[in-house]
């Protein structure tokens, strides 16, 4: 079943797309207000897609059902991301990317973005996707099966924007830094930004995202 989503349509002719994945327990609505806030130039023709993760039981939350890209069985970082769940969600997001390509948007005009759990899926999918994307935005996130990336990556020259809060007590900055190091070791073009914030997104970070998107898609 394909993912449902909310969208912010391109202002003017549709030329590029950002697919932005939310975090645990959130929905596509959570980040949708960010699209107009970025005040991107209309000539970029940028459409934003904010998919909703499927509703499923989450083990660490007592099996409570909520929107989640994968189950979390343990708070320990190396066991936190359920690999099969990540791969299943990545396959669903891949359908959205392929839909955009079928609609005439080239892969090098598509950005995959994700916050927290969504970032895990974005970092997993983009290097393994058959075509090279314009870039990845990985916010306050970490990596699933980092030890498998070198063998499975089809692209090791991806441009990746990473940002994290120095006071994040949900996903410690060290987890993001560790993903950054894995990606850098593969010669990916990765930048790291740290902000004095918790597990969230701040105004200064949105400003950096705006500049990065313009640079990637102009």
Annotated catalytic residue, options 116, 124, 140, 164 = 116
Q: Where are the beta strands (DSSP E) in 35-125?
A: 46-51, 55-58, 64-67, 110-115
Our answer to whether residue 116 is catalytic in this structure is yes
Q: Which of 79, 95, 87 is nearest to 121 (CA)?
A: 87
Residue 114's φ and ψ, nearest 5 degrees, are: -160, 145
Our answer to whether residue 178 is catalytic in this structure is no
Count of other CB atoms within 10 angstroms of residue 213:
23
The b/e string for 127-139 (b: 16+ C-beta within 10 A; e otherwise) is: bbbeebbbbbbbb
Annotated catalytic residue, options 14, 52, 155, 199 = 199
Our answer to whether residue 108 is catalytic in this structure is no
Residues noted as catalytic: 116, 168, 199
């Amino acid at each position: 079943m394909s993912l449902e989503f909310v969208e912010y349509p391109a202002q003017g002719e549709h030329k590029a797309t950002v697919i932005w994945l939310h975090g645990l327990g959130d929905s596509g609505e959570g980040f949708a207000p960010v699209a107009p806030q970025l005040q991107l130039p209309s000539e970029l023709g940028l459409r934003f897609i904010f998919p909703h993760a499927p509703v499923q039981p989450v083990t660490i939350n007592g099996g409570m059902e909520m929107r989640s890209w994968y189950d979390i069985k343990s708070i320990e970082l190396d066991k936190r991301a359920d690999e099969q769940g990540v791969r299943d969600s990545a396959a669903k997001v891949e359908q959205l990317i392929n839909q955009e390509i079928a609609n005439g948007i080239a892969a090098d005009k598509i950005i995959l973005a994700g916050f927290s759990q969504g970032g895990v899926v974005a970092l997993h999918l983009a290097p393994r996707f058959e075509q090279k994307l314009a870039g990845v935005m990985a916010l306050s996130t970490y990596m699933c099966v980092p030890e498998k990336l070198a063998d499975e990556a089809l692209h090791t020259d991806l441009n990746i924007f990473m940002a994290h809060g120095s006071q994040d007590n949900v996903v410690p900055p060290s987890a993001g830094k560790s993903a950054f190091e894995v990606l850098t070791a593969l010669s990916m073009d990765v930048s790291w930004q740290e902000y004095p914030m918790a597990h969230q997104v701040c105004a200064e970070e949105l400003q950096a995202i705006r500049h990065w998107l313009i640079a990637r898609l102009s």
